[in-house]
Chains A and B, each alone.
Chain A
Amino acid sequence: MADVLTDTAPDTAAAVPEYPMQRDARCPLAPPPAVHGLRDGKPLSKVRIWNGSTPWLITRHADQRALLTDPRVSDDDLEPGFPYVNAHRAEIAPHTPRMITNTDAPEHTRLRRTVNAPFLVKRIEAMRAPVQKIVDELIDDMLAGPNPADLLTALALPVPSLVIAELLGVPYEDHDFFQRNSSIALDSAASPQEAREASGALAAYLDKLIGLKLENPGEGVLSEMAGRVNSGEMTRTEAVHMGVAMLIAGHETTATMISLGTLALLQNPGQLALVRDTDDPKVIAGAVDELLRYLTIVQTGVRRVAKEDIELGGVTIRAGEGMIFDLHAANWDPEAFPEADRLDITRSARQHQGFGYGPHQCLGQNLARLELQVVYGTLYRRIPTLRLAAPVEQLAFDRTGTTYGVACLPVAW
C-alpha cells in the first residue's frame, strides 16, 4: 500500500480526471458517477488516458450528434493526437490495413458500401426464422440440461456465434475455435502478443475459407466478399480483415446484451413482465432499444481526433487534439432521456447512441437488434420462472474490456 501511495502522480495531474472512470460497485449497471458530473458541468472537459495524454471527453447527447457527423472529426488512427484505447491499439495501428474502422469519407464511404449488402434491412429480416430456430434449440438444450445453468455458455455466447457463422458461411464445427480466438483478441487483459496471435489465427482461417470461396462460391458473406475480390472491388487482405472485424464486433457485444439485458430485466420485474407478456413485436423492439440505451455496454468510448479547429459551446477543440465520446454518458443525458437512470421499455429510446453515431455507427446494428428481439421475445416467455442463481454482488463484471459484461450469469428456473 505504501508503495502505491509514494507512486502517486504529482498534484498538477489531479485536476484532470483519469479515463476510463470507476463505476460504483453498488450500481453495477449504471455509468461511472463522475461522468455525470462532467456532463452536467462544463460542456467539454479533458481527461487523462493510459499514455498520459489529455483528450477531450464529450458526454452530452446533442454534442456527440453534432461532432460525430462533423467532417473535421477524424476516425483515422494514424492522425497525430489520436487517443488510442490502449497500448495494444497504438502498437497495431501502423500495421492495420485501412478499413471502415479507421478511415474517413470519401474512402470510408467507398469501403463501407462494399460490406453493407449483407446487413440490408430486408436481408436481416429474412434471417428472423433461422435465428428463431437457433434460439429455440438452445433454450430446448438449456431446459434439458442442469438447473441452475450459466446463461452465457447456454445461450448468450452461442447465439451470436451461430448467427455470425450462418451470416459469413462458416462451418459450425469451427464454432469453438472462433469463440475462443475472438474472446482473446478482444480481451484487454490479454497481452499484445496473445491478442495478435488470436487475431492472426482468425485471419489465417478466414483467408483459407475465402480462398475456397474464390474457387467455389457458396452462400454467405465470405462468398460475396470473394466475388468482390474477383471483380477487383476489394483486395483479399481487405476481405479477410473485414471478416475478422465482423466476427469480433458481433460476438461478445451481442452476448453481453443477452446476459446483461436479462440481468437488468430480472432486477426490474415490472419491466420483465411487460416483455414476457406481450404479443406485440413493437413492444419487444422498444425493449431492445431501451436496454441498448440503459446498458450501453461499450465502455471504452468512441475515439476520434480533430483535423481542424472546432468551436463548440465556447470551447475550441484544436486540430490534433483527441476526443473521446462516452456513449453511456450521452445515453443517460437527462436532456435527451428524462429520468435516464430508470429502465422504461415503453419510452422512445430509438435515438440512443449505444451503437455510436455518425457514419461509423455499428455496421451490424440491424442484425444485433434482430438477435436481441428474438432472444428477449422468447427466453422469458418460455422460462417464466427464470431467476438469478447468485447474488448480484458476487457477479464478476469486466471493467476493463471494450464491452462491460459478466463472465458468467448463473440462472435457475
Chain B
Amino acid sequence: MKVELDEPKCVASGQCVVAAPDVFDQRDDDGVAILLEEHPGAELVDDVREAVAVCPAAAIRLVER
C-alpha cells in the first residue's frame, strides 16, 4: 500500500490526522499535511481509507498493489 499526498491541494483541515494519526501529521505554521509513512502497514489500511474519504480537498490517494 502506498499513500500519495497532493500537497498543493491540501487545505490543512487536519481530517487525515484525526482519521490516521500514525500516517499523517500537520506542519506547525500552516497546518499542511505531512505524510509520516508513505508505505503504511496493512493494519493501517482502514485508517488511511477513512483519511482519503474525509479529506475535503480530495488531496490523498491510496494506491493498493
Contact = CB atoms under 8 A, between A and B. Distances in A.
A113 interface: yes
A300 B6 CA distance: 31
Interface string B15-58: 10111000000101111100000000000000000100110111
A112 B27 CA distance: 14
Contact of B13 (A69, A117, A361): A361
A69 B58 contact: yes
A357 interface: yes
A116 B30 contact: yes
A109 B8 contact: yes
Interface of B: 8-9, 11-15, 17-19, 26, 28-32, 50, 53-54, 56-58
Interface residues of A, number: 25
Given A112-B11, A121-B14, A358 B56 contact: yes
Contacts of B13: 361, 363, 365-366
A133 interface: no
Nearest to B10: A109
- Main SS class of interface, A: loop
Given A113-B12, A114-B30, A350-B50, A359 B18 contact: no
B12 A116 contact: yes
Contacts of B15: 365
A117 B13 CA distance: 10
A120 B14 contact: yes
Nearest to B11: A359
A351 B26 CA distance: 21
Contacts of B31: 113, 116-117, 119-120
A361 B56 contact: yes
Contacts of B12: 112-113, 116, 119-120
B18 A366 contact: yes
23 contacts: A69-B56, A106-B8, A113-B12, A116-B30, A116-B31, A117-B29, A117-B30, A119-B31, A120-B31, A121-B14, A121-B18, A121-B26, A350-B19, A350-B50, A357-B56, A359-B9, A359-B11, A359-B56, A360-B56, A361-B13, A361-B56, A366-B13, A366-B18
